[in-house]
Structure 1
Amino acid sequence: MSYTIPDYLKGLNESEIVASRKRYGYNQMRGVHKSSGLELLIGILKEPMLILLFAISVIYVLTGDYGEAAFMFLAIIAVSAISFYQDNRSKKALEALEKLNEPMSVVIRDSKVVQVPTHEIAVGDLCITEEGKMINADGRIVHSNDFSVNEASLTGESLPVFKSAGTKDNEVFSGTIVVSGLAIFKVEKIGNETRIGNIGTSIAAIKEEISPLQLQIRKFVKMMAMIGIVIFLMVCAFSYYHTRNFIESLLSGLTLAMSVLPEEIPVAFTTFMALGAWKLMREGIIIKRSALVETLGSTTVICTDKTGTITENSMELKYLYDYPLDKTFNEGAFDDARLATLIGYAMWSSEPVPFDPMEKTLHRVYEHTQQPDLRKTYKLFHEYPLDGTPPMMTHLFENASKERIIAAKGAPEAIIAVSRLSAEATRKIRTVVEGFGREGYRVLGVARSDFKGNDFPEKQQEFNFEFIGLVVFYDPPKKGINEVFRHIYDAGIKVKVITGDHINTTRSIASQAGISGTAAAVEGKEITGYTEDELIRAAEEKVLFTRMFPEAKLSVVNALKKKGEVVAMLGDGVNDGPALKAAHIGVAMGSKGTEIAKAAAALVITNDDLGKLVTGIAAGRRIYSNIKKAIRYIISIHIPIILTVSLPLFLGWVFPQIFTPVHVIFLELVMGPTCSIVYENEPMERNMMQLPPRVMTDTFLNRKELAISIIQGLVITAGVLLIYQLSVRSGNDEAKTRAMVFSTLILANILLSLVNRSFFYSMFESFKNRNPLFLILHGATLVLLFGILYIRPLSGFFRVTGLSLSEWSAVLLVAMLAVLWFEFYKWVKRNGERRL
């Protein structure tokens, strides 16, 4: 952060900041509601499962079964505690993300330039804002150069408005974005007192867009809830018809309703997404919407800017080409007196207070090589901002003696087009430019004008320019970028480079970075003439998109989306904003990225390391895979619970109520943490980043996957009911039969959760994926099971009895057969794929 600040701008001191804050408060919007712990708890108590538990508890109290009622109340506390723990973790994770999303602001305090969190801006502060930044308070400009803002957020007008301290329109407003230049403004209003605050606009109040997976899960849960209601009514009616006991029939219906309700699924989804976003935050990846984690894993195309994304954005000045001398000088010879004109005009064509890396370099080279330093003796009095396709910019300076300097720089093609050059000279300069471009250098042309008078042309291209030479920068690819792109290609993801740079420079840097297919290229001016079909075809086939302006970048992203691609757009500049906003996943660079890029993006990489995007894609795939595992586990284990509760009743077996509400709620207490805590912690399978991206429109479970989960559930049901019949035929009473059935289902549940850790690799292979939560949860489950069977008060309460060694052998054998057959299925699947 390096700025040249005028001496008269001191800013607030510490005591003035304290006084201002005491009077005006912090720069924050009020009125955005955040859920408190009590509200979270009330929300949990409204859940259908808790309502069912309350209903059963009341029935037990009314019938005098106080032990069962007490257990139900304890279950209510346990379920609420687990849900509260999960919701609170999600809430804290999202709050941490929100805090990190707050932008930093640059202010002058005690004559020093410092960065502060935006909410700490005080009335009276001197704020510095520049191209690409969002203005975070209302104020009045006290110093500026080439400064324009986009006020569309307030006025709806998308064209930039030029402002300066010397004009009538010298106010800036919070929520607007700087299009060009730099300004220092004195803060007059903050928080709700700003114009945007009065309008009542708040980003935090905008509702998140519901993802396709969320919609699918909601639809699935609603369907299961409807099935639960139908089965509840059927069981109540059937039971009452046979027993004429309303309370007993109601309890039977409620027990079955509890077994049908898949309340773990939405809880699991919320937990997985929020904690996934929180874990990525710790890796340096800030996601603005937690549901976006799911989309990350579906990315099929990465569109990336070049400068600052693939490259370091260091912009080292490597060569100077002096046109009158027709000679190239390397960086060791910049102090040659013959380069004074070229270096001087390259600097004068830059901003007086530079913020662009190239302009900072030009100022530094001028300072080190030119004596005397004339920057304080000349004042910028007229300027033409960067414009044109390709772009250029022109600055007019004047000293006290009315001596003028008129300097221009820009894309070589733009400067050549406005200079007095013969065809032969033009050809020679273009040959030099192409030579530098093939080696990956960034080249700018520099020109001067001797225009007299004050009747300046409307457009800078109308000046009569003299070509001076070329300034040649090198922006090297980031370290390790080749490995990053190798991982991206291994994951079946395509890469497109969309940049405003020259085709030769782009091709050279892209090749150095390990991007394949760099021969296929197209320029922005060509794209403007394409039909929609031609644009879609070009977007699909081409890899390099050069000399791209914002509208062209946006059109390529939209074309890829129309083709059905899931697009991640990476960028850090102002001109990347529209494309970042339009992409499924806009990714901005957090360190060197402009505020407009970060505001438009859905994801920010804090340290500008492109490798973090690979980490994010891997996390998205891991989370989506684990959600599927959790949901398939829930479906599979609910089936035997539902059928074990209902079939003995409907088939008129000897013990129709083999499970009561206490048994079902115990199973629910085991299953809930398994799917929403244990599976969330499951590591990524080793082949996941070698698979192609999933199709975004696919349902979270296709027919084959759903069929396999249903078959798993039905086989477990068959095993559980087999144990039921074996126990009855052995002459066992209801308590012994219930103990065997209950134990078989518990053991099958444990084995199912282990088998379903992977639907491809064996259970033993999955043990290499360290997840200590499995051991903790299953160990606790077995301890509780043995306590229920062998500790007298508990066994009496659960109406079960202990099992002998032979009975345990039967239970364990059936549970293993009912679940571990799936390992054979996976073995056949693996061998079949190897043969292919």
Structure 2
Amino acid sequence: MSYNIPDHLKGLNDNEVAASQKKYGYNRIDTAHKNTGLELLLNILKEPMLILLFAISAIYLMTGDYGEAFFMFVAIVAVSAISLYQDTRSKKALEALEKLNEPLSTVIRNAQVVEIPTNEIAIGDLSITEEGKMINADGKIVHSNDFSVNEASLTGESLSVFKSSEIEDNKVYSGTLAVSGLAVFEVEKIGAETQLGKIGRSIQDIKEERSPLQIQITKFVKWMAVAGIIVFLMVWIFSYIQTDNVIESLLVGLTMAMSVLPEEIPVAFTTFMALGAWKLMREGIIVKRSSIVETLGSTTVICTDKTGTITENTMHLKHLYDYQSDKIFDEKDFGDTTLSKLIDYAMWSSEPVPFDPMEKTLHKVYEQTQKNDARKDYRMFHEYPLDGKPPMMTHLFENKERHRIIAAKGAPEAILDVSMLLESEKSDVRKLIKSFGQQGFRVLGVAKSNFEGDDLPREQQQFRFDFLGLVVFYDPPKKGIQDVFQHIYDAGIKVKVITGDNTDTTKSIAAQAGIVNTAEAVEGKEIMEYSEEQLLQEVEEKVLFTRMFPDAKLAVVNALKKKGEVVAMLGDGVNDGPALKTAHIGVAMGSKGTEIAKAAAALVITNDDLDRLIIGIASGRRIYANIKKAIQYIISIHIPIILTVSLPLFLGWIFPQIFTPVHVIFFELVMGPTCSIVYENEPMEKDTMLQKPRRMADTFLNWKELAVSIVQGLVITAGVLFAYQWVVQNGGSEEKTRAMVFTTLIFANILLSLTNRSFHYSLFESFKNKNILFAVVSGSVIIMLFAILYIEPLGKFFHLSGLNAGELGIAASIAAISVLWFEVYKWVKRLRQNDTETSGLHSLESYIK
């Protein structure tokens, strides 16, 4: 971006910057406390599972079982290391996101305009701010160009305020937003010394709202924790009645509590969300809150802008219509002298330092076609910013001789309304506008006025304008955008186009982009006149919303939310802020998006490519599916552990303490990584983006899914207890029985983790989804099992004996039968689904006939 900055504004040099930063520090507000490594470790040591391990270790020390006590301490270190690794991994991912989210600021240094990280702004810097950008320090305006600012973040006043160096109110403040124009201000306060910094702590302390899934999982874990306490007390009392030994009974009870506690679940959730956000960052999607990743997968409606999202935002000037000659000129004829006045006033009605692609194009065409460049001779002394429904803008320039130029441009309807034309003449122009619009062109009207006095009208519409003609731009749909929308429709997601452009242009571009149901459209002014019932019906039926302004956009988003939709709103302008903030998922464009849009949005697409949002939605669905798989796996494998610990005791079997804390903690060390590391790495199943979005209000496990997991756990329990009785009936010792039960459960655990990779596709189909971590974790567990079985010191420590090949085969067979029946269940389920789909297709064919 090039700026026409006065030559006398040089800014600080490098030495002055260094001296300022040394004296006053950096532009940051360090109010949020960040946990150190030691604090993270202390927080981990407060976890219920580790408290249980400490209690068991203490009991072993009291009873003189030093080997078991040492193993428990090793387990404490191992569990802490895994948790610390997960927390650190999540923390680093979130810190990387936070760093990427930090905006850049534009300053003048060494007489050059440069962009720097916002935290490097120094007192004395000359900072440049412009339309749509957030102001990042407090300061005094030294140069401005029709500059206005919204200070609602500090004052609560929603109306923008015009400011300049020439008036008393010449201060700008960090956290406020530039609404129009441009300003250069000298930085006077930074960081905690700014107005925002003084109230920064209260802002930093606002807690992030938890997602529905987060709330549901927390409730589930609390419920399981309460169940663990109740079962612990029952087992402790029951064991004490039988043995009359408080310490031994307490040990049995604590073993039971360990088997019930699902501490893997919250760790898994945090890991999935943080790493999901980090992976999206690598795809060019900056996620501001990690919990939004889960919400992405629930998206049911995408509300998208047209310009720059569906189209390339190139704004190529295709035609010029000169009203005086009543001729349409193609681009090869733009040098015709007939067009001189139209091109002249189209440029003067643009910003002197253009931001908008259309205005940049008009400046460029002016340079190429006009012999004398008069831009340096004229100074803009007043501007009427873009306003009205439909909108227009007017600029007033004056040179040293007091010769004035008053130029206006805007929506053709707005310019026609203020022009001194007969109604019949306006009607002819409107036909032309409609014809251009139907071809997908973007059309602006241009007009001029004369006014000699200093008592300017309050509103630009009060000038008497002469209509000069039309400037006609073509902004073609992006390449491949049809495929993007097809992916959206395949995923069962609706599309709504919300744009400030006119109806005809929007219809044409939407049809070219592959958007369906574009025959009808509704305009913003109609939206505001609807009753609530009418509005709910319109947002359900209509796809195109044109001539939209902030209040109308907000009304559409709120109506869609009221209909139960999960709304992703794409926007890039100042006017999109309210709708972005209100939507479930506000999506800002990284390249062309304004700072206010990025501040209001929940995620930012760095390259403005709508296809990135599809990747984000797919990632959200993958993460949600994998969280469910991980939790169902945890539920299923916890059931046989719980029942194998408790049933022999309650049923009075010969070996009531078949598992001790040593065995349970071994299972916990196996389950933790499987749940939170292996399943997190699981790829998306092949038909995930061909399914309808899930309802966000749904519980993460419905009763049917929960029942499936419970049945899986009960069948594995039956297999494990069968192995127990088989050894006992064949005269096996306690060590042999424990070895058989332990081995069967380990094999079942490995097979369960594999078969639960998909609750639809077969185990063999799932192998096509490469996940090396399954092989690594499963291989490591088998090696450890064999070490325990066949290395004598380890076998003695775990109180079990080795198994021969036949016994090992029986354990593997029992585990396979206990788990792989689920493959038959999935096969039958697929057959029924195929029959239903075939039947539905036949019914549809009969209906059509």
TM-score range, shorter chain: over 0.9
Counterpart-to-counterpart distance in 2, 1:331 and 1:339: 11
Are 1:335 and 2:318 an aligned pair?
Answer: no
- Summarize deviations over 1:769-815 as a string: whole Å, max 9, x none: 00000001010100000000110100000011111122112111110
Shift of 1:477: 1.6
Give the Cα–Cα distance (whole angstroms) in 2 for the partners of residues 719 and 4 of structure 1.
80
Counterpart of 1:683?
Answer: 683
1:835 aligned residue: 835
Q: Given the alignment of the two structures, is residue 145 of structure 1 paired with residue 145 of structure 2, yes or no?
A: yes
The answer on whether the counterparts of 1:144 and 1:184 sit within 8 Å (CA) in structure 2 is: yes
- 1:709 aligns to 2:722 (yes or no): no
User: Secondary structure of the equivalent of 2:778?
Assistant: helix
Amino acid at match of 2:415: I
Distance 1:2 1:318 in 2: 25
Which whole-Å CA distance do the structure 2 matches of 1:113 and 1:479 have between them? 34
2:554 is aligned with 1:572: no
Q: Does 1:173 align with 2:173?
A: yes
Q: How far 1:111 moved relative to its partner? A: 2.3
Partner of 2:826: 826
Q: Deviations over 1:707-726 (max 9, x none)?
A: 00000000000000001001
Whichever residue aligns with residue 170 of structure 1, its letter is N
SS at match of 1:380: strand
CA shift at 1:439, angstroms?
1.2
Structure 2 unaligned residues grouped into runs of 5+: 837-849
Mapping of residues 445-460 of structure 1, within 5 Å: 445-460=445-460
Amino acid at match of 1:319: H
User: Which residue does 2:101 correspond to in 1?
Assistant: 101
Give the partner amino acid of 1:427: S
Tell me whether 691-700 or 303-312 shows the greater mean CA deviation.
Answer: 303-312
SS of alignment partner, residue 181 of structure 1 = strand
Q: Deviations over 1:543-582 (max 9, x none)?
A: 0000000000000000000000000000111111110000
Q: Distance in 1 between matches of 2:777 and 2:520?
A: 55
Alignment of 1:721-760 (within 5 A): 721-760=721-760
Q: Structure 1 counterpart of 2:353, which letter?
A: V
The residue that corresponds to 1:216 in the other structure is: 216
Query: Letter of the aligned partner of 2:50 in structure 1?
Result: L
**Structure 1 counterpart of 2:183, which letter?**
A
Question: In 1, are the aligned partners of 2:580 and 2:597 still within 8 Å (CA)?
Answer: yes
Would the aligned equivalents of 1:130 and 1:355 in 2 still touch at CA under 8 Å? Answer: no
Q: CA deviation at 1:81?
A: 0.3
CA RMSD of aligned residues (A): 1.0
What secondary structure does 2:529 align onto? coil
Q: How does 1:409-420 map to 2 (within 5 A)?
A: 409-420=409-420
Contact 2:31 2:201 in 1 (8 A): no
Aligned residue in 2 for 1:489:
489
Q: What is the deviation of 1:204?
A: 4.4
Which shows bigger deviation, 60-69 or 190-199?
A: 190-199
Q: Alpha-carbon deviation of 1:4?
A: 2.1
Render the CA deviation track for 1:90-119: whole Å, top value 9, x for unaligned. 000000000011011111222222111111
Q: Any idea what SS the aligned residue of 1:528 has?
A: helix
What is the CA–CA distance in structure 1 between the aligned matches of 2:207 and 2:332, rounded to whole Å?
57
Please name the residue that 1:45 is paired with: 45
Read off the aligned partner of 2:125 and give its amino acid letter. Answer: D
- C-alpha displacement at 1:146, in angstroms? 2.2
User: Quick check: 2:581–2:601 contact (8 Å CA) kept in 1?
Assistant: yes
* 1:193-232 correspondence to structure 2 within 5 Å: 193-201=193-201, 204-232=204-232
1:492-547 per-position Cα deviation (integer Å, ceiling 9, x unaligned): 00000001100011111111111111112100010111011111111111000000
For the 8 Å contact 1:3–1:355, the answer to whether it is kept is no
1:380 to partner: Cα distance: 1.1
The answer (yes or no) to whether the contact 1:308–1:572 under 8 Å persists in 2 is no
How do 1:502-581 residues align onto structure 2 when only pairs under 5 Å count?
Answer: 502-581=502-581
Higher mean alpha-carbon deviation, 181-190 vs 247-256, is at 181-190
CA distance in 2, matches of 1:115, 1:511: 40
Quickly say closer, same or farther: Cα 1:661–1:780, change in 2 above 3 A: same
8 Å contact kept, 1:145–1:351: no
| 1:212-291 alignment, distance < 5 Å | 212-291=212-291
Offset of residue 277 of structure 1: 0.3
Matched, 1:26 2:36: no
Q: Does 1:806 align with 2:806?
A: yes
Q: Which sits farther off after the overlay, 639-648 or 425-434?
A: 425-434
Q: Match of 1:631, SS?
A: helix
Letter in 2 for 1:610: L
1:64-83 paired onto structure 2 within 5 Å = 64-83=64-83
Distance 2:597 2:220 in 1: 37
C-alpha distance in 2, partners of 1:529/1:716? 63
Aligned to 2:10: 10
The residue type equivalent to 1:642 in the other structure is I
Contact 2:31 2:204 in 1 (8 A): no
The letter for the 1-side match of 2:572 is D
What displacement does 1:203 show?
A: 5.3
1:700 Cα shift? 0.3
Structure 1 residue 593, shift from structure 2 partner: 0.5
Q: 1:647 offset after TM fit, Å?
A: 0.2
Q: Indicate conservation of the 8 Å contact 2:632/2:709, yes or no.
A: yes
Provide the C-alpha distance between the structure 1 equivalents of 2:419 and 2:690, rounded to a whole number of angstroms.
53
Q: Distance in 2 between matches of 1:472 and 1:114?
A: 34
The one-letter code matched in structure 2 to 1:529 is E
Alignment of 1:613-762 (within 5 A): 613-762=613-762
Query: Which amino acid is the alignment partner of residue 542 of structure 1?
Result: K
SS where residue 96 of structure 1 aligns? helix
The secondary structure found in structure 1 opposite 2:207 is: coil
Preserved CA contact (<8 Å) 1:311 1:476: yes
Q: Secondary structure at the match of 2:140?
A: strand
AA of the residue aligned to 1:270: T
Give the partner amino acid of 2:298.
S
**SS state at 1:457 partner:** coil
Q: Which one is further off, 368-377 or 773-782? A: 368-377
Question: Hey, what's the Cα distance between the residues in 1 that align with 2:511 and 2:108?
Answer: 43
Deviations 1:188-235 (A, max 9, x none): 111111111122357544321111101110110011011110110000
- Aligned partner of 1:817 in structure 2 is 817
Work out the percentage of aligned pairs sharing the same amino acid.
73
Structure 1 residue 782 corresponds to structure 2 residue 782: yes
Match of 2:61 in 1: 61
Deviation at 1:3, TM superposition (A): 2.0
Q: Distance in 2 between matches of 1:267 and 1:783?
A: 26
Residue in structure 1 matched with residue 846 of structure 2 by the alignment: none
User: Residue 520 of structure 1 contacts residue 541 of structure 1 at CA under 8 Å; is this kept in 2?
Assistant: no
Q: Comparing 259-268 with 359-368, which one deviates more in the overlay?
A: 359-368
Q: CA deviation at 1:678?
A: 0.2
Q: Secondary structure at the match of 1:492?
A: coil
Match for residue 154 of structure 1? 154
- State the one-letter code of the partner of 2:705: E
Q: Residue type of the partner of 2:739?
A: A
2:391 maps to 391
Residue pairs, 1:114-153, within 5 angstroms: 114-153=114-153
CA contact (8 A) 1:342 1:469 kept: yes
Aligned partner of 1:367 in structure 2 is: 367
Q: Which moved more, 1:122-131 or 1:255-264?
A: 122-131
Q: Hey, what's the Cα distance between the residues in 2 that align with 1:90 and 1:203?
A: 23
Instruction: Quote the Cα distance in structure 2 between the aligned partners of 1:20 and 1:474.
Output: 49
Q: What is the distance in 2 between the residues matched to 1:371 and 1:9?
A: 30
Aligned length: 836
Residue identity in the other structure for 2:722: L
Q: Distance in 2 between matches of 1:142 and 1:30?
A: 29
Q: Does 1:422 align with 2:414?
A: no
Amino acid at match of 1:546: T
User: Structure 2 CA distance, aligned partners of 1:743 and 1:148?
Assistant: 73
- Contact 2:31 2:200 (8 Å CA) reproduced: no
Letter in 2 for 1:825: Y
